[in-house]
Amino acid sequence: MKTKKTMQNPYLTGTKIDPSPIEKNQKLTEIIDSTFMAYNAGRLREACRLYSEKMLQPDVTIGMSLAGALTPAGLGKSVIIPMIKAGFVDWIVSTGANLYHDTHFGIGEELFAGSPFFDDIDLRKKGVVRIYDVVFDYKVLLNTDLFYRETMKSEVFNKPMGTAEFHFLIGKFIRGLEKKLKLGDASILGAAYEAGIPVFTSSPGDSSIGMNIAALALTGSKLSLDPNRDVNDTAAIVLNAKRSGGKSAVFICGGGSPKNFMLQTEPQIQEVLGIKEEGHDYFIQFTDARPDTGGLSGATPSEAVSWGKVRPDSLPDTVVCYLDSTVALPLIAGYAISKVKPRKSKKLYQQLPKFVENLKKEYLAAQKKNRK
């Protein structure tokens, strides 16, 4: 029985820790809601509810960043593609490596569960590549390289472009192969193409995709990836989310360059372009990085407020869960898909020219105002 003192104490008004025992055939949502009570399980429960109850409202634009070797572990097909098809992701920033390994699945290559304790010298002798406990034939790399080089010889690629346009075109080719090979929905890039979701890479030269683009440049290809377009495209997406009367949310898997590229949209709008704005409205991150080392991967939402990346009033709507994304992503996706009806795709890719033009108008207006 609660005493009057307990009832008045603001620190003792949370959910009482008195969970029911887990039962046979219990739903995932029930397990998360009733047994994920504390520590990072508690943060994951909070992330599930924030994502399902607030971020997935129709007027919220959700950006997802992907770092770490997620696609080799099969998370593209098992988790991210279902999220895309449900309309739960609106734009993506990924490492090039994740998109390169995602392509393996879209062109019919095979990866296998292995062991982190395999003999790497023997693996090399036998032509096997290892990503921790994922293994695959070295020919998978060669075949994927060949796919990119041959595809990029098409005339539509023979020009400078942003990574959103590049991935949209590549996704179209992959989607065609998936249908031809009867693979179903196997690739993030194929699913993003179909849904009109822009996919960006913050460091396009830092992957085998960029390496193959560089190889073609040696033989006269005019293809180059323009980071300026990406910076303006991503800032325009966020500004449009706000100016249309909605909100902007970031869903960060890992950290690194994709996290920074997604969050820097607000400093680009406010600091560089001089446009009045306040920061992203919702923030979820899964990470194993510590904040005390000073790295961006471990930087907290509170620290992001000082940069203008997160709106100050939005701190209660931010969650950091110190958990491997390969564990957290299937759980939060399963929770949301069970709880929330699919959203209609915003098809942001097709609207990028309009968004950038609006960004330019506000920038020029801000410059004019500041000169007075």
The residues that are catalytic are 309
User: Is 325 in contact with 286 (CB distance < 8 Å)?
Assistant: yes
Closest C-alpha to 346, from 64, 48, 51, 62: 62
| Run of H or E residues at 297 | none
| Helices and strands, counts by H and E, the chain | 17, 11
Q: Can you tell me the distance from the alpha carbon of 105 to that of 79, in angstroms, rounded to the nearest whole number?
A: 14
Q: Residue 247 pairs with which residues in a beta bridge?
A: 60
Long-range CB pairs of 118-122 (<8 Å, 24+ gap) are none
Closest C-alpha to 237, from 361, 71, 99, 348: 348
The torsion angles phi and psi of 7, rounded to 5 degrees, stand at -65, -30
| Run of H or E residues at 113 | strand 112-113
DSSP string, 130-161: EETTEEEEHHHHHHHHHHHHHHTTSGGGSSEE
User: Is 340 in contact with 52 (CB distance < 8 Å)?
Assistant: yes
Q: Can you tell me the distance from the alpha carbon of 337 to that of 28, in angstroms, rounded to the nearest whole number?
A: 11
Closest C-alpha to 109, from 101, 119, 120, 121: 101
Length of the chain: 372
User: Is 275 in contact with 308 (CB distance < 8 Å)?
Assistant: no
